[in-house]
Amino acid sequence: MTIHKEGYTSIALTVLFIFIINALAHYYLPDYPRIIWLVYVISFVLFVTILQFFRSPKRLIPLNDGHILCPADGKVVVIEETEETEYFKDKRIQISIFMSPVNVHINRTPISGLVRFFKYHPGKYLMAWNPKSSILNERTTVVVANQQGKEVLFRQIAGAMARRIVWYVKEGDQVAQGQEFGFIKFGSRVDVFLPLGTKVNVKLGEKVTGGITPLAIW
């Protein structure tokens, strides 16, 4: 299993924490082997969970200019027509993907093209499924335009557990479909805003895979 670069520090701190907890258990609880074994089990589960979170599976991206690929692994929690107030300032189709702590948290570019807009917003840490999280939580907004000038806006949104959003793009960059554009640590959500009339290819509650599942078709 390949580990994403964003996980190195977190994994190292987890190993240090596990080492300290196990050492304290051995020192203070030598007469309670059951408790020591319980500490072992909890330590193992914690370590495996952290590894699972930062895994970076290899994926063959199905490049298709007619598709808008899913930017993240998770579950579709919103499909609706709504007002996008930051960049487009008009009505768009919003599709939101909720990433639980067990999902891969790599974020991928839905289309190839030019990054026309990027902005980072510091903010709160409401639950990722809270509708207000898209305007109040820590987040980034990215807009990419393809060769035909069609634009897609996608937004990383921190959740209650997330405390760090990472991004690898800036305005003026050329990006490829399925390319990593960022990472969110420990539970989060990604919103995608599409032009009205775009054919949505997913359903509410559907599990989707970043860089693989076509969210919509032009």
- Annotated catalytic residues are 188
Of the candidates 57, 62, 1, 79, which has an alpha carbon nearest to the alpha carbon of residue 211?
62
27 Cβ contact partners less than 8 Å away, ≥ 6 residues apart? none
CA distance 54 to 149: 35
Residue located via tokens 């520090």:
9
Burial zone of 13 (CB within 10 Å; 0-12 exposed, 13-18 middle, 19+ buried): exposed
Residue located via tokens 């405390």:
163
CA distance 88 to 152: 10
Q: How many helices (H) and strands (E) does the chain have?
A: 3, 14
